[in-house]
Amino acid sequence: MIIGSISEDKNLEKRVSITPEISKKYISNGFKVKIEKGIADHLGIKDDDFKKEGCEIDTKENILKASDILLQINFPAEESLRIIKDKIILIGNFNTNNNQEILDKYKSKISIFSLELLPRITRAQSMDILSSQANLAGYKAVIDSFSLFKKAIPMMMTAAGTIPAAKVLVVGAGVAGLQAIATAKRMGAIVFATDVRLASKEQVESLGGKFLVVEGSENLETKGGYAKEATEDFKKKQEDLISETLKKIDIVICTALIPGKKAPKIINEQMISNMQPGSVIYDLAASQGGNAAFTKADEKVEKNGILIVGESVILNKLPISASNLYSKNLFNFVLNLYDKKNNKMNINMEDEIILNTLVK
């Protein structure tokens, strides 16, 4: 069985789907591994690093024609798909909500597994690309936003006087939000958080954050553990609570997303106008429209002294760490598909993980 991986568009994607460490694991499980020449040069990982682990370096065309399994991050370009081997298994993170047309075109020729569709069950945790990548995103959002803030973060008592601790609000307490809370607390900030899922309250408080409870709120959580759209009554109560809180907040980290929909607009123009000059809003939901008014993807906008940063490619700022985790997620998924005894892939539709991630 041949596992292959070709280069992503490096202008858009710095991560890779396979690292030397993980390629060694594939080979020890009986696979052959072929990767495109120079696939990770930009990360300081050379072809020789892969060769030492037993990988073959080849051209893109040869890999596409020979591979039984192709590991990617984004969906390959059409020129690659036209020469791809029939019945190949393609695994990655293909944003099925936005790419349904192209996926429909090729799903009869190849088996496409998109791992953002993984069910939230214990057995799938080691394959969960959303969690592993969101963890890094939440951490990096705090580091970047703190670097943009023009005051110290922790409380400092000096002979000249006391510097108060910065106050941070995290909007959305999923994986990225919880990591943002933990990172901000470690750096000495006072942290508040809000989420439509009441189950998040205990998690936020366990990390030392203060959870903003909307009066009379219901638990807006799907069976899969994701947030669902709030009612108009909830939105009004949440708006009043956040509006009052923002008057004393220095830094806002926005992470709230609803799968398959535009990001909920939680921080409006009026709220921003009431914030303290010098405050920073760092919006990780920018690629889906943003949680804050004025957010523009991959741009910095200043309004009344408030800096609003829209971030859609934050993992490109941590590509080595992100690649290490992503490649481990894919390895665990491939092993779940692989029938080692008979040296073949087993697409068992009775397996909840396979059933949910296969593009139908």
Catalytic residue among 17, 26, 128, 327: 128
Residue 83 · residue 64 · CB < 8 Å: yes
- Whether 120 sits among the annotated catalytic residues: the reply is yes
What is the 8-class DSSP label of residue 358?
Answer: B
Catalytic residue list contains 15:
no
Catalytic residue of the set 114, 131, 132, 179: 131
Give me the count of residues in the chain. Answer: 360
How far is it, in rounded angstroms, from Cα 307 to Cα 38?
Answer: 38
Q: Torsions phi, psi of 352, nearest 5? A: -60, -35
Helix (H) or strand (E) segment spanning residue 32: strand 32-36
Helices (H), the chain: 20-28, 47-51, 60-66, 78-81, 100-106, 129-148, 175-186, 200-206, 232-246, 269-273, 319-337, 352-357
Catalytic, 128? Answer: yes
Structure tokens at 234: 């909830």
CA distance 153 to 159: 18
- Select which of 47, 68, 120, 321 is catalytic: 120
Enumerate the active-site residues: 120, 125, 128, 131, 226
